[in-house]
């Protein structure tokens, strides 16, 4: 069969073989691309599949042309129909790509509907032409001939070409310069090939030019996607480093050296904070206001991540500064609330429990701004909830008043403070750990020192949660009052 082919057809076969090879390599390159978006990958896999079908159908038509017999007659008409049909889908896919990137706004859907309508009309015209021979026909020797209506088969291509040229020109700034050039090459190179083909109509330059320009377009898009991925990775690496630094800074702002006051025997204190994200919004604090008063703070900022961490830093500094001035717990919360409300455009808030423990008498003055109930164990008793009166969260409203209350801690008493991440820890069955389980866990370890108490509570929470993800920070503080006698 090959020996009967003309020189021009042999050249065409070489062009088609080269086209199939280029399409295949491009298809494999797209499929193997690790940093290419899934939708881009699927788009070009479909695109090169259609191009391969198109040029293979052209090859089959060329090989069957001039062969007589019913089988060849049906075969050549089928592959020619598919060839014309696929060419329409190819230009439609390209038009969708340009439309997607150009994004002309509200008219995008309208333009797409127009494209679809043109594609449907093109397909209908091909079906009708099979019976009327309006576009093309085959003689008794199965030789392909163009009919008088052949130019109409290219109306779809011309209309979409003009629309694509218009979108490219009008929305140039939305395109990467390399992609802009590659799209123009793909649109106009086949026209140049057609012009050359006028001089040598038997050689299908357009097939090879179409494949090469499509492969170049694919190469440019893959390169842009890869560069974007690498840029995103660099930015992610930079942000990860900054986040690690923020985590260290946040950790360093919280008291983390224990024993915290090795020269003070009146109390023993321990605290932990485990953020759900790299940085969290919970915080604890403790500090000596003077020689005989210990300030205790536990708080939970709304939200998570960097914004909550920044708000947490501000809140912690304000509370400590105000407390060190000697104000009562209710006054500390009032002043801090006023300061935060005066400049809080993001409308963030923080729940706060603040207490001041007299290290000589064991008297504890405290105020609660929407925080969890403290849990107290008296010297000869068990851990129990202290259902104190809650005020409004800090940052919600100006000019709010807070009410303080008093507790008495005898030597041997222990106070446990925590954020809502503990009772709201959730297992795979969507069950909450709950306050009851927390109290039971505390009672099981109530004879231990504060550090061991927190460790055992955390173990109990972990056993309950198991592999379920943690969505809230876990922050706990425990202080044991020993008194002056020790």
Best mean pLDDT range from 184-188, 309-313, 413-417? 413-417
Asked if residue 241 is part of any domain, the answer here is no
What local confidence, expressed as pLDDT, does residue 35 receive? 73
Report, as an integer, the average pLDDT of 280-292. Answer: 91
| Pairing assessment for the beta strands 350-358 and 363-369 based on DSSP bridges | antiparallel
Mean local confidence (pLDDT), 62-69:
86
Cβ burial 70-80 (10 Å sphere, 16+ → b, else e):
eebbebbbebb
Instruction: Give the pLDDT band of residue 2 (cuts 50, 70, 90).
Output: very low
Do 92 and 227 lie in a common domain? yes
- Bridge partners (DSSP) of residue 357 are 294, 364
Residue 485: what pLDDT? 61
Instruction: Report yes or no on 243 lying in a domain.
Output: no
Neighbours of 46 (CB within 10 A): 14
What is the C-alpha separation between 257 and 164, in angstroms, rounded? 67
Average pLDDT of every residue of the chain:
89
Least confident of 25-29, 151-155, 318-322, 440-444: 25-29
Percent of residues, the chain, with pLDDT higher than 90 = 48
pLDDT of residue 24 exceeding 90, the answer is: no
For residue 220, the enclosing domain spans 2-233
- Give 118-153 pLDDT, tens digit per residue: 999 999 999 999 999 999 999 888 888 888 888 888
Tokens 């090459």 appear where?
A: 185
Same domain, 229 and 261: no
Residue 463 inside a domain? The answer is yes
One domain for residues 181 and 280: no
**What is the percent of the chain with per-residue pLDDT over 70, rounded to a whole number?**
97
**Is the sign of the CA dihedral 307, 313, 316, 317 positive or negative?**
negative
Kindly report the CATH number assigned to the domain that includes residue 30: 1.20.1070.10
Q: Region 176-205: what's the mean pLDDT?
A: 81
Are residues 373 and 316 in contact, defined by beta-carbon separation less than 8 angstroms? no
pLDDT, one tens digit per residue, over 352-399 is 999 999 999 999 999 999 999 999 999 889 999 999 989 999 999 999
pLDDT of res. 201: 66
The answer to whether the predicted template modeling score (pTM) of the entire model surpasses 0.85 is no
> Any idea of the CA torsion for 443, 444, 447, 452, to the nearest 10 degrees?
-110
Total domains in the chain come to 2
- b/e 248-287 (16+ beta carbons within 10 angstroms → b): eebeeebbeeeebbeeeebbbbbbbbebbbebbbbbbbbb
Strongest mean pLDDT among 86-100, 225-239, 320-334? 320-334
227 and 263 together in one domain: no
Residue 197 has pLDDT above 70, yes or no: no
Do 278 and 417 have their domain in common? yes
Rounded CA separation 336/207 (Å): 75
The last residue of one of the domains, among 179, 199, 233, is 233
> CATH number for the domain including 469?
3.60.40.10
Confidence of residue 61 (pLDDT cuts 50, 70, 90): confident
134, 128 contact by CB (below 8 A): yes
Report residue 1's pLDDT band, with 50, 70 and 90 as the boundaries. very low
Element spanning 387, H or E: none
SS3 349: coil
């Amino acid at each position: 069969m090959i020996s009967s082919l003309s020189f021009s057809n042999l050249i065409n076969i070489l062009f088609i073989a080269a086209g199939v090879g280029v399409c295949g390599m491009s298809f494999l390159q797209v499929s193997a691309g690790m940093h290419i978006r899934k939708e881009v990958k699927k788009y070009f896999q479909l695109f090169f599949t259609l191009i391969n079908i198109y040029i293979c159908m052209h090859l089959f038509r060329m090989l069957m042309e001039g062969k007589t017999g019913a089988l060849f007659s049906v075969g050549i008409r089928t592959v020619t129909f598919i060839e014309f049909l696929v060419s329409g889908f190819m230009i439609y896919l390209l038009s969708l790509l340009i439309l997607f990137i150009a994004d002309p706004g509200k008219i995008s859907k309208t333009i797409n509907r127009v494209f679809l309508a043109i594609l449907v009309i093109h397909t209908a015209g091909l079906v009708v032409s099979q019976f009327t021979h309006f576009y093309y026909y085959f003689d008794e020797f199965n030789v392909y001939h163009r009919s008088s209506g052949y130019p109409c088969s290219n109306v779809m291509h011309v209309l979409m070409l003009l629309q694509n040229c218009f979108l490219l020109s009008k929305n140039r700034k939305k395109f990467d310069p390399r992609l802009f050039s590659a799209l123009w090459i793909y649109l106009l190179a086949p026209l140049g090939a057609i012009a050359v083909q006028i001089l040598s109509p038997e050689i299908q330059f357009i097939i090879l030019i179409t494949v090469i320009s499509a492969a170049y377009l694919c190469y440019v898009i893959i390169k842009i996607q890869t560069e974007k991925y690498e840029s995103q990775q660099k930015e992610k690496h930079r942000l990860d480093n900054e986040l690690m630094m923020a985590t260290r800074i946040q950790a360093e702002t919280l008291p983390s050296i224990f024993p915290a006051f090795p020269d003070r025997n009146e109390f023993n204190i321990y605290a932990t904070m485990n953020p759900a994200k790299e940085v969290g919004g919970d915080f604890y604090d403790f500090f000596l206001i003077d020689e005989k008063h210990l300030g205790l703070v536990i708080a939970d900022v709304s939200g998570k991540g960097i914004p909550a961490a920044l708000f947490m830093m501000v809140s912690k500094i304000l509370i400590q500064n105000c407390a060190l001035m000697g104000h009562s717990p209710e006054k500390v919360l009032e002043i801090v609330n006023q300061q935060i409300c005066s400049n809080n455009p993001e409308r963030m808030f923080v729940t706060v429990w603040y207490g001041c423990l007299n290290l000589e008498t064991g008297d504890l003055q405290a105020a609660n701004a929407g925080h969890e109930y403290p849990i107290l164990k008296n010297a000869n008793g068990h851990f129990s909830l202290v259902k104190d009166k809650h005020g409004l969260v800090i940052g919600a409203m100006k000019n709010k008043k807070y009410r303080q209350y008093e507790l008495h801690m005898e030597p041997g008493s222990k106070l446990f403070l925590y954020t809502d991440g503990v009772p709201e820890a959730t297992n795979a069955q969507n069950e909450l750990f709950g306050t009851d389980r927390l109290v039971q866990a505390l009672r099981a370890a109530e004879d231990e020192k504060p550090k061991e108490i927190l460790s055992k509570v955390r173990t109990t929470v972990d056993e309950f949660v198991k592999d379920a993800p943690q969505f809230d920070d876990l922050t706990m503080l425990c202080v044991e009052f020993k008194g002056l006698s020790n």
